[in-house]
Structure 1
Amino acid sequence: MQVENLLKQVNFIKEIDKLKYIQRKTKLFNSDRCENDAEHSWHLAMMTIVLAEHSDKPIDVLKVVKMVLIHDIVEIDAGDTFIYDTTKNHTNTEEELIAAKRIFGLLPTEQAKEFIAIWEEFEEGITNEAKFAKSMDRFEPLLQNVSNNGGTWVEFNVPYQKVYDKKKAIKNGSTAIWNYAENLINESVEKGILKK
């Protein structure tokens, strides 16, 4: 049984290497290179550890770290949907659920169930952990866009209200981080890198 589990786990580890090839629209800090999903997930995990004290509610940090590391693995099959996409909705889709079952299903049964449950919890965004994980997921690209003189906001002509509406989810996990983020959004308008 242990050997069988190990073989399944190694197979999963090989499969998730594909996450490094999924390109996001957002660029690295002060860079013109697009971030990939694996870099994004790693950065969110580090942000969670560093910023956990700013959560409005008590959180299980390890669970949030698991969430942010797992949340985009489905994009290996489903692809990355740009948050400001006007043709495809950036919400949990049937396509992503199929991807979650296939990819996490490579793991031994109990681990597969745990990973799918963590992914679903993140997507639902109801628990304290999910709210904080989503705060991190919305905060990182905001910081990147500010560092790149508007980045994807300028590139895709995204208006202030759309940015504000997407980013206010940060407040669900952390009022302090949202206050900081809201200031950055408003400063971006003053600098002319975000159009009101």
Structure 2
Amino acid sequence: MNMERLLKQIEFIKQIDQLKYIARKTKLFNSDRHENDAEHSWHLAMMAMVLLEHANEEVDLLKVIKMVLIHDIVEIDAGDTFLYDTSKDHVNTEEELVAANRIFGLLPEDQAEEFIAIWREFEAAETKEAKFAKTLDRFEPVLQNLSNQGGTWAEYDVELSRIFQKIGVIENGSDFIWEYTKEEVQQCAEKGIIRNK
């Protein structure tokens, strides 16, 4: 047994508790309470197991689960950037890379390297696992907004074309989920809940 290794792992475990304090703009289903990053990551992991059959390609479920559990840990340092923010680009990978190196660097070297590699793979969204993980990451807040009368779309007056621009990556991981998403979001616009432009 390696005590130094265990102590590094415990330090990382303590650090990631901070994820529970990172508030997201989206709210829980049918709720006024904002979701936090830890809840979001847990929900995505469950969605990966439940929705696996709808992936465009056969994927490694464990790898997808690792991705969705790891992907937002960098926000402990970098903060959560709202997907529809007009003042800051949601793709702030450089800032997040510094965070990834610091936070995952708390782990023993082999684990740190694995976690950083998984995080980078998710961000690049090129592998079939990363595409499906990104599908889930975009799909969950869509479902939340639909359950909350437009949620952040209505609150921040986001027009339909911008919504589709931002959530279009859903199709890369699941054509079937994308078809459902398009129809539901379009209906939301037709009801006047969001701006139909």
Bucket of the pairwise TM-score, normalised by the shorter protein: over 0.9
Q: Distance in 2 between matches of 1:106 and 1:116?
A: 12
- What is the DSSP-based 3-state SS (H/G/I as helix, E as strand, rest coil) of the residue aligned with 2:24? strand
The alignment's TM-score, normalised by the length of structure 1, stands at 0.99
1:92 is displaced (CA, Å) by 3.8
Match of 2:102 in 1: 102
- For 1:140-159, list aligned pairs within 5 A: 140-159=140-159
1:167 is displaced (CA, Å) by 1.1
Which deviations, in whole Å up to 9, do the C-alpha atoms of 1:111-157 show, x marking residues without a partner?
00000000000000000000000000000000000000001001101
Which deviations, in whole Å up to 9, do the C-alpha atoms of 1:18-51 show, x marking residues without a partner?
0000000000000000000000000000000000
- What is the DSSP-based 3-state SS (H/G/I as helix, E as strand, rest coil) of the residue aligned with 2:72? coil
Match of 2:59 in 1: 59
Q: Distance in 2 between matches of 1:108 and 1:163?
A: 40
- What is the DSSP-based 3-state SS (H/G/I as helix, E as strand, rest coil) of the residue aligned with 2:73? coil
Aligned-partner residue type, residue 102 of structure 1: R
Contact 1:92 1:123 in 2 (8 A): no
Aligned-partner residue type, residue 195 of structure 1: R
Q: Distance in 2 between matches of 1:33 and 1:40?
A: 13
1:76 is displaced (CA, Å) by 0.1
Match of 1:7 in 2: 7
CA RMSD, 1 decimal: 0.7
The alignment's TM-score, normalised by the length of structure 2, stands at 0.98
Match of 2:40 in 1: 40
Q: Distance in 2 between matches of 1:18 and 1:98?
A: 17
Q: Percent identity?
A: 66
Which deviations, in whole Å up to 9, do the C-alpha atoms of 1:147-174 show, x marking residues without a partner?
0000100110100000011111100000
- What is the DSSP-based 3-state SS (H/G/I as helix, E as strand, rest coil) of the residue aligned with 1:43? helix
- What is the DSSP-based 3-state SS (H/G/I as helix, E as strand, rest coil) of the residue aligned with 1:87? coil
- For the pair 1:16 / 2:16, whether they are aligned, the reply is yes
Q: Distance in 2 between matches of 1:125 and 1:34?
A: 27
Aligned-partner residue type, residue 185 of structure 2: I
Match of 2:134 in 1: 134
Gaps of 5+ in 2: none
Aligned-partner residue type, residue 127 of structure 1: T
Match of 2:27 in 1: 27
1:93 is displaced (CA, Å) by 2.4
Q: Distance in 1 between matches of 2:41 and 2:193?
A: 26
Match of 2:178 in 1: 178
Aligned-partner residue type, residue 166 of structure 1: K
Contact 1:81 1:90 in 2 (8 A): yes
- What is the DSSP-based 3-state SS (H/G/I as helix, E as strand, rest coil) of the residue aligned with 1:69? helix
Structure 1 stretches (4+) deviating beyond 2 angstroms?
none
